[in-house]
């Protein structure tokens, strides 16, 4: 698999684009991890709320049990403590719910933060890079063939990939020249295809 061009300028541009793509991916992954850590810290109020609710429920339950032991008026005395204990359970439930919401946010928000930029990279840079590598690998195989066969195939590729303006600069009828096996036109067309991909003629 051919990874980089053979011409220095094209190879430097490809290397630069790869480094930029890597930096882009690292930036957004790091941002997502930092965001997850920051959001995860938000569960502290929920933890305190749940802990306070549990404490209230426990103490009120103990007080209600003690009040129930009072002869005659025990049930009446225990009722307010039981009511406050119920409020404590509500606090515990609210704190637990808050922690669950923070946990969900800490999962999905960083995920979206990372996935969208990485998907953009995968939809733009990656296809172009893979397409070049496949084309360059195929063209390099053609270049390694016998000079006549290799030039013919490279010239044929040039007819389908090089701009019409550049083709007309080679010959007024480049397709006809290729069919007629014009050696000079075929050689120049093959060189155009190699140059298009940043590869050397030899």
Task: Kindly write down the DSSP assignment for every residue of 30-47, as one continuous string.
Answer: HHHHHHHHHHHTTHHHHH
User: Which residue did the predictor score with more confidence, 55 or 32?
Assistant: 32
Does the pLDDT of residue 59 top 70, yes or no? no
CA 90 to chain centroid: 41
Is residue 2 within 8 A of residue 133, CB to CB? The reply is yes
Burial class (CB in 10 A: 0-12, 13-18, 19+), 163: exposed
Q: DSSP secondary structure string, 100-145?
A: HHHHHHHHHHHHHHHHHHHHHHHHHHHHHHHHHHHHHHHHHHHHTS
Q: Minimal CA–CA distance to 39: which of 123, 99, 126?
A: 99
Q: Which residues contact 127 (CB under 8 A, 6 or more apart)?
A: none
Does the pLDDT of residue 2 top 80, yes or no? yes
User: Within 10 Å of residue 200's Cβ, how many Cβ atoms?
Assistant: 11
Q: What gap in Å lies between CA 29 and CA 32, rounded to an integer?
A: 5
pTM for this entry: 0.72
Per-residue confidence (pLDDT) for residue 74, from 0 to 100: 55
User: Which residue did the predictor score with more confidence, 191 or 92?
Assistant: 191
Q: Minimal CA–CA distance to 96: which of 41, 37, 35, 45?
A: 45
Integer CA distances (angstroms), 46 to 18, 63, 94, in order: 44, 26, 8
Structure tokens at 28: 């957004």
Q: What gap in Å lies between CA 17 and CA 43, rounded to an integer?
A: 40
Residues 137-178: pLDDT tens digits? 999 888 888 888 888 999 999 998 988 888 888 888 888 888
Q: What gap in Å lies between CA 42 and CA 102, rounded to an integer?
A: 7
Average the pLDDT over 97-109 and give the result: 86
Q: What gap in Å lies between CA 162 and CA 192, rounded to an integer?
A: 7
């Amino acid at each position: 698999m051919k990874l980089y061009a053979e011409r220095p300028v094209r190879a430097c541009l490809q290397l630069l684009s790869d480094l930029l793509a890597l930096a882009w991916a690292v930036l957004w992954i790091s941002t997502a991890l930092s965001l997850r850590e920051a959001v995860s810290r938000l569960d502290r109020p929920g933890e305190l709320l749940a802990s306070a609710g549990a404490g209230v429920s426990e103490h009120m339950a103990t007080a209600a049990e003690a009040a129930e032991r009072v002869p005659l008026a025990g049930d009446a005395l225990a009722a307010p403590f039981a009511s406050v204990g119920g409020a404590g359970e509500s606090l515990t439930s609210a704190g637990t719910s808050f922690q669950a919401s923070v946990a969900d946010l800490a999962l999905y928000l960083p995920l979206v933060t990372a996935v969208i930029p990485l998907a953009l990279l995968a939809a733009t840079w990656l296809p172009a890079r893979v397409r070049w590598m496949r084309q360059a690998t195929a063209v390099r195989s053609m270049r390694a063939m016998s000079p006549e066969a290799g030039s013919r195939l490279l010239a044929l590729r040039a007819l389908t990939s090089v701009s019409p303006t550049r083709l007309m600069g080679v010959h007024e009828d480049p397709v006809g020249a290729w069919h007629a096996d014009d050696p000079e036109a075929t050689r120049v067309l093959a060189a155009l295809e190699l140059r298009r991909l940043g590869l050397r003629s030899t």
